[in-house]
Amino acid sequence: MYRQKGFTLIELLVVIAIIALLMAILMPALSRVKRQARSVACLSKLKQWGLFFSMYADDWNGKFNRGFTASPRANRWIYALGDYYKWDDEFTCCPNALKPWVDEYGVNSGAEGHASGTGVTMAWGYMNQGHWEKQMKGSYGMNGWCVDPQAGNEPHSGGPNLFWRGPTVNGAGFVPLLLEAQRYNGWALETDRPPSYSGERWNDNAQMGRFCLDRHDGFGGCLFLDWSARKVGLKEFWTLKWHREYNQNGPWTVGGGVTASDWPDWLNAYKDY
């Protein structure tokens, strides 16, 4: 007699169990690869932003935007560079932070500054300064010390001598220009306290928190004034040369005497600088 061959129920269950086990092993690895791919894509995007900022500076006698009013020479980078990136509100976003806090209909998610940290992987916006071409979202922010403000109209009380104004400076490879951020700009100081949790709502004595965001497993993407882009350790932000008189051995650096107990718990796991 002809006997039909096939799998028994036990054999099928064993195969299913093996597949499930393999999936359990592979999924974390696949997730890690996806995060790494988004980190690479973020740095690639920041390098492209370097081209746009370079083109803008070339068009304006080696200077960046002033930071105020509605003219292309004066307004914040989103408006000033609009003709270069064509108002693409996906290009203003890190691949790890695409969804905005407020949607295009004005509905607020409530994620901004929330203790859950959900706002870290979200974009600022949607928002419109009135003279912008359209509502915009983004998850990058400009180092506010890089702008070229008019005398008496500086966006910070630190004084006119602190601003870089353009890319042609000594030590440009240590000066941050455009970074991962929860606002489109910020004026970091060496005395800024670290955020109590990743994504904490910033304030005037903690503007470093606009940039110190755990989007890439302990790192944030950063474009520098020499047009290079790399990942920066979260504690490393305090060692960068944010403005002309910034102390790179300030109180939140190893050189300045910071200890592990000084950092909030969520930052303790990361490398000291």
**pLDDT tens column, 110-147:** 999 998 888 999 999 999 988 899 999 999 999 999 99
pLDDT band at 37; cut points 50, 70, 90: confident
Computed over every residue of the chain, the mean pLDDT equals 90
The DSSP secondary structure of the chain, one letter per residue, reads: --------HHHHHHHHHHHHHHHHHHHHHHHHHHHHHHHHHHHHHHHHHHHHHHHHHHHTTT----SSSSSTTTS-HHHHTHHHHTT-TTTTS-TT--SBSB-TT--B-S-TT-TT-GGGGSBEEEE--SSSSS-EEESEEEEGGGS-PPTT--SSTT-GGG---SS--TTGGGSEEEEE-SSSEE---TTPPPPSSTTPPP-TT-GGGGT---SSSSEEEEEETTS-EEEEETGGGGGS--STT--TT-TTSTTTT--GGGS-HHHHTSPP-
**Which range is least confidently modeled, 69-73, 155-159, 191-195, 265-269?**
69-73
Query: Across residues 197-226, what is the average pLDDT?
Result: 92
Burial class (CB in 10 A: 0-12, 13-18, 19+), 32: exposed
pLDDT band at 27; cut points 50, 70, 90: low
What gap in Å lies between CA 76 and CA 73, rounded to an integer?
A: 9
pLDDT at 15: 78
The pair of structure tokens assigned to 64 is 């960046």
Instruction: Using the predicted structure, report yes or no on whether residue 209 has a pLDDT greater than 60.
Output: yes
Which amino acid type is present at position 176? P
Spatial contact of 164 and 175, defined as CB atoms under 8 Å apart: yes
pLDDT at 12: 77
Share of the chain above pLDDT 70, in %: 93
